[in-house]
């Protein structure tokens, strides 16, 4: 780090990725600081700058401090984390810059078993839900494997489950113990006999009685903005298959398919092809984060359709590599496999890329995808 870069950081001062300390008061301070950075987005811990005056005061023994930090990162953080340390000379004084990465083995805990996160310039203990999402984003636990308290095999839609097994040439067991074993093998219930999120959403009788936010809110507006008096509003709920059918019906109602007339161009060329809409619905249902208490929201405006899906991108996935169909990472493998067997997806993880290809083929404006808070937002545009 150059002196100029250090001066810029001091002017900006502390935030979620930067923390300053004049010196280390106690080695017990290090594990919470290191784990907070590693469990969030990583950052820099800078020693030798006064917290009140923001003046560079330097360190009396930087080498001793480096050894203490190295020891804390290896012995008092679980799992151990590799960080980098750099001594910077500023006006004859030594400043230590410790760079802590966003840990590849998250979540990290201190030697006292506590998980910390960075929030702005503060750090705090992670809540249970935050910890679950860290495990999930690191690929150590899946959103659809979370158990749903208060459920058991009696909450399964037996008729639908039997038809599903018959379609895939699986014999429905006669004996209850054999049926329980099959449900566990399919990860519809866990070892405690409780339905998983996947089991309830794909095969449950009334999924929203236990997961009320696992549904779709669809609103049709007259103009280009939301208004208090929409044209229509529906809330498809039930199983994943029911939600998909309900959403498609709403689209069919408000986006008529082109009518082909012999010898003429089809009427209604300005609509978005239904194949794109089906792909977008499926993508939302399969990839949303079911640990976030928020619905899928789909807004139909006069010039566009917005599909807002709860859930941040996982791991190293970016908006750009999603558009290219690269970096396929599953948040809900159970639901994804169910969708593949039902013929909703191709099974190769290229749903968004396919949406872009279909839009280009239909001469539509390129769709827009972006993150807004914890929402993944897909916008489809009508031709002008």
Q: What are the beta bridge partners of residue 269? A: none
**Predicted local confidence at residue 139, as pLDDT:** 58
Contacts of 268 (CB under 8 A, 6+ apart): 256, 257, 258, 259
Model confidence at 136: pLDDT above 60 = yes
CB count in 10 Å sphere of residue 253: 12
Q: In this predicted model, which residue has the larger pLDDT, 349 or 305?
A: 305
- Return the closest-CA partner of residue 379 out of 313, 307, 276: 307
DSSP state of 49: B
Rounded mean pLDDT of 39-58? 93
Provide the CA 147 distance to its chain's centre, in angstroms: 18
Of 99-108, 118-127, 137-146, 274-283, which gets the smallest average pLDDT?
137-146
- Taking only the tens place, the pLDDT of each residue in 49-82 is 999 999 999 999 999 999 999 999 999 999 999 9
- 80/104 Cα distance (integer angstroms): 11
Q: In this predicted model, which residue has the larger pLDDT, 121 or 29?
A: 29
**Predicted local confidence at residue 327, as pLDDT:** 52
**Domain ranges (residues) in the chain:** 3-126, 143-209, 216-381
- 157/239 Cα distance (integer angstroms): 10
Give 3-126's CATH code, choosing from 3.40.50.620, 1.10.3080.10, 3.30.950.30, 3.20.20.150. Answer: 3.30.950.30
- 2/95 Cα distance (integer angstroms): 11
Rounded mean pLDDT of 209-219? 97
What 3-state DSSP class applies to 221?
coil
Backbone angles phi, psi at 53, to 5 degrees: -85, -15
Strands (E), the chain: 18-21, 43-47, 77-78, 84-90, 93-100, 109-110, 116-119, 122-125, 216-220, 232-234, 296-300, 304-310, 368-372, 375-381
How high is the mean pLDDT of the chain?
A: 88
216-381 has which fold?
Heat Shock Protein 90 (3.30.565)
DSSP secondary structure string, 177-220? HHHHHHHHHTTSB-TTSPBBHHHHHHHBS-GGGT-TT-SEEEEE
- 153/189 Cα distance (integer angstroms): 7
- 121/44 Cα distance (integer angstroms): 12
**Predicted local confidence at residue 256, as pLDDT:** 64
- Return the closest-CA partner of residue 211 out of 156, 284, 148, 131: 148
């Amino acid at each position: 780090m150059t002196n100029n870069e250090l001066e810029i950081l001091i002017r900006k001062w502390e935030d979620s990725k930067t923390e300053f300390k004049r010196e280390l008061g106690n080695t017990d301070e290090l594990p919470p600081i290191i784990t907070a950075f590693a469990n969030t987005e990583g950052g820099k811990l800078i020693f030798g700058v006064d917290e009140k005056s923001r003046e560079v005061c330097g360190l009396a023994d930087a080498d001793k401090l480096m050894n203490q930090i190295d020891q804390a990162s290896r012995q008092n953080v679980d799992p151990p984390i590799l960080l980098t340390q750099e001594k910077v000379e500023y006006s004859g004084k030594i400043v230590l810059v410790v760079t802590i990465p966003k840990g590849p083995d998250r979540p990290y805990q201190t030697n006292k078993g506590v998980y910390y996160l960075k929030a702005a310039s503060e750090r705090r203990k992670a809540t249970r839900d935050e910890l679950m999402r860290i495990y999930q984003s690191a690929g150590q636990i899946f959103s659809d494997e979370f158990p749903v308290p208060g459920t058991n095999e009696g909450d399964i839609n037996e008729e639908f489950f039997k038809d599903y097994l018959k379609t895939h040439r699986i014999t429905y067991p006669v004996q209850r113990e054999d049926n329980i074993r099959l449900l566990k093998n399919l990860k519809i219930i866990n070892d405690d006999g409780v339905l998983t999120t996947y089991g309830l959403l794909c095969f449950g009788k009334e999924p929203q009685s236990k997961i009320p936010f696992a549904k779709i809110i669809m609103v049709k507006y007259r103009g280009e903005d939301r208004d208090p008096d929409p044209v229509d509003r529906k809330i498809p709920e039930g199983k994943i298959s029911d939600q998909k059918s309900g959403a498609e019906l709403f689209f069919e109602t408000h986006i008529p398919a082109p009518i082909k007339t012999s010898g003429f161009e089809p009427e209604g060329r300005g609509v978005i092809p239904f194949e794109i809409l089906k792909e977008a619905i499926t993508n939302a249902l399969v990839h949303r984060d079911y640990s976030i208490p928020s619905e899928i929201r789909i807004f139909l405006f006069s010039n566009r359709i917005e599909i807002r899906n709860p859930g941040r991108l996982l791991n190293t996935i970016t908006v750009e590599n999603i558009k290219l169909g690269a970096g396929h990472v599953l948040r809900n493998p159970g639901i994804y496999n169910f969708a593949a067997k039902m013929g909703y997806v191709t099974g190769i993880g290229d749903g968004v890329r396919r949406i872009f290809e279909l839009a280009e083929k239909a001469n539509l404006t390129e769709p827009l995808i972006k993150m807004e808070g914890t929402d993944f937002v897909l916008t489809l545009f009508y031709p002008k």
